[in-house]
């Protein structure tokens, strides 16, 4: 991990001079993962298998990211991130073959609420294949389920989210029309960093961490 502080700092035997060094700058358009939200707390964003985020803008002390879910979020430039994409892109498409393989991963069977008794679940009861008997599905404790947003109102990080995730972002693969993209001339040519056919993907054993500033 590298860091650029006000004074010279040695991390893992690498000396980074203050302010003169630009080796820790991540260019615009670079694929990154394992991103910090709070400085020094460690990576919290884009950590799942095959996840990758994109640095699309820098302004003042903040940077704008496009997260894998399609959300546009602002974080501090002092937050660290790992260059590249997380390994094992097709993990969610893997066929386990049998139920025992899923049990080895810690997954347990889930019983549907409609086949339970009314004392055990709000969907339970009735004769035969009866419907749930409610206007909308609920959890075993009576709270709304399946589509109800659970994020609390007026959360402290609402002003850091420029646009919430939406299905429209999954349909559009281009970011050229997004107004927050600035200084496109400085966008990184990923082929110069990663000569392989997939420039954003790197091995987890050869990853390097940089400052986003």
Q: What is the full DSSP assignment across 25-83?
A: PPPBT-EEESEESSTTT-EEES-STT--EEEEEEETTEEEEE-TTS-EEEEETT-EEEE
Report the pLDDT value the prediction gives residue 150, as an integer from 0 to 100.
86
Question: Is 168 part of a structural domain of the chain?
Answer: yes
Out of 12-26, 157-171, 187-201, give the one with best mean pLDDT: 157-171
pLDDT at 176 over 70: no
**What is the tally of structural domains in the chain?**
1
Q: In sequence order, what are the residues at sequence separation of 6 or more whose Cβ sits closer than 8 angstroms to the Cβ of residue 124?
A: 113, 114, 115, 116, 117, 118
Question: Is 14 part of a structural domain of the chain?
Answer: yes
The span from the first CA to the last CA of the chain, in angstroms, equals: 15
* Percentage of residues of the chain with pLDDT beyond 90: 49
Which of the pair, 166 or 50, is modelled with greater confidence? 50
CB atoms within 10 A of CB 65: 22
CATH of the domain at 161: 2.30.30.30
pTM over the 0.95 mark: no
Domain of 203, in residue numbers: 9-90+154-211
């Amino acid at each position: 991990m590298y860091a650029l502080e006000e004074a010279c700092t040695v991390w893992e035997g690498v000396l980074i001079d203050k302010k003169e060094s630009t080796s820790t700058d991540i260019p615009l358009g670079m694929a990154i993962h394992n991103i910090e939200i709070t400085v020094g707390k460690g990576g919290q964003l884009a950590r799942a298998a095959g996840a990758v985020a994109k640095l699309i803008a820098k302004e003042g002390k903040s940077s704008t990211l496009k997260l894998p879910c399609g959300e546009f979020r602002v974080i501090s430039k002092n937050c660290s991130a790992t260059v590249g994409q997380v390994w094992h892109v097709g993990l969610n498409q893997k066929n386990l073959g049998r139920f025992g393989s899923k049990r080895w991963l810690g997954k347990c069977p889930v019983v549907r609420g409609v086949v339970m008794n009314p004392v055990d679940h709000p969907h339970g009861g009735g004769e035969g294949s009866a419907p749930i008997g409610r206007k909308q599905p609920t959890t075993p404790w009576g709270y709304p389920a399946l589509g109800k947003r659970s994020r609390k109102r007026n959360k402290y990080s609402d002003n850091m989210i420029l646009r919430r995730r939406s299905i429209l972002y999954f349909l559009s693969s281009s970011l050229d029309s997004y107004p927050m993209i600035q200084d496109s001339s400085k966008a990184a040519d990923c082929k110069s960093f990663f000569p392989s056919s997939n420039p954003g993907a790197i091995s987890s054993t050869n990853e390097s961490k940089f400052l986003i500033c």
